A = this chain, B = another copy of it.
Amino acid sequence: MVHNNMNNKFSFSLIKKDEQSKARAGILTTPHQVIETPIFMPVGTQATVKALSPAELEECGAQIILGNTYHLHLRPGDELIKDAGGLHKFEHWDRAMLTDSGGFQVFSLRDISKITEEGVWFQSHIDGSRHFFSPERVMEIEHNLGADIIMIFDECPPSDAPPEAIVKAVDRTLRWAARCLDAHIKTPFCHGYEQALFGIVQGGTIRELREKCARELVAMDLPGYALGGLAVGEKIETTYDVVNFGSDLLPEDKPRYLMGVGTPIDILECIERGIDMFDCVLPTRNARNGSVFSSRGKVNVKNAKYTRDFNSPIDRECSCYTCRNFSMSYIRHLYMAGEILALRLLTLHNVHYYMNLVRSARIHIMNGTYVEWKAEMIAKMLPSDQGGV
């Protein structure tokens, strides 16, 4: 485990490229944490990864977690978090953080949004109050929050948008990216350390648009790049295809972040296609619905067949607190009885599972055995009590 070094600025170095695939292992240095990539980033929407404590996240091996700009702006407010000393201090998380730009959220509320070239008006899902996000405003909010990595404010078209809407979204995303960068570099460090601004490549599933968007963002020489607007309803083969050509559009010496993806299989497939960073609500949200990931695929803890399973943990191959100490029978009882401990134990397991997955992937990249290992892992995951992952 690489430890914190507050003196480090942001940097990325590739330390191994797989010879049989595009998989990479790297070191991503941020003000709060030196991160080993490929990495999964648990999502902490409202300044907490749901159901887990910071101490548990560290035990799981989490090196960087997300915060959501949209949610934190609305509650408790980014000014409050700034005054608390930033998001790290506020939520007692000493390792790295990344904030999204809120673009995905405000465009998901499109029926109550007014979109102009200047920015987007939207209503709070909490109290209906009106708010305005522009590139400049989002930079200000993300500076207040103080994450190590911050994202540009992008236009996210819906998955079923016609090509001409995607063309317009790419053009606007590029103009907004320039405004974000301009606002970002003009602002002194809000919390005494550098925040790295990542670009987001949009363009739906249209290769020419992805190429254009990537080309212009790469020309801005940002410290990292994300692929956005994927896993929003398209077929998974299409996602993999866009990730495959999309990662080739990005500089080799910068970290590549695939936003909002995905299942364990998706993560292994996209590591193979050249991605370094992932985030997804799947491990935490599924846990709260009684669904957990295991070395043998997905497991539904509500299944009656676990009622008297006193001797099996969720996953015999897992070393998390849940699997070391609790039977399927007990976990099922807690879940059926609506106990908070069920949500805790299941979330802890799922986040541990994801962190272990990317840690193992990295080891196999380093050893030159990634492609074979990945194939074995996926074969083991497919048979499950729900018929596949």
Contact = CB atoms under 8 A, between A and B. Distances in A.
Given A54-B325, A76-B329, A330-B90, A48 B84 contact: no
A341 interface: yes
Contacts of A80: 307-308, 329
A234 interface: no
A52 to B, nearest CB: 7
Interface-central residue, A46, A308, A329, A337, by most chain B CB under 10 Å: A337
B75 A341 contact: no
Interface string A295-331: 0000000000001101000000000010001110110
B337 A46 contact: yes
B53 A330 contact: no
A120 to B, nearest CB: 23
A55 interface: yes
Contacts of A341: 48, 50-53
8 contacts: A51-B341, A52-B341, A53-B345, A76-B307, A76-B333, A83-B308, A84-B329, A340-B344
Contacts of A52: 341
A215 interface: no
Count of this chain's copies in the oligomeric assembly: 2
A47 interface: yes
Interface in A74-93: 75-76, 80, 83-85, 90-92
A345 B55 CA distance: 12
A167 to B, nearest CB: 38
A50 B325 contact: no
A344 B53 contact: yes
Interface residues of A, number: 37
Contacts of A325: 54, 92
B50 A340 contact: yes
A281 interface: no
Nearest to A336: B75
A83 to B, nearest CB: 7
Contacts of A90: 310, 327, 329-330, 333
A334 interface: yes
A330 B91 contact: yes
Residue of A52, A325, A341 with most partner-chain B CB within 10 A: A341
A84 B336 contact: no
B326 A47 contact: no
A48, A83, A310: which has the most chain B beta carbons within 10 Å? A48
Given A53-B344, A333-B76, A46 B327 contact: no
A271 interface: no
A337 B84 contact: no
Interface string A203-218: 0000000000000000
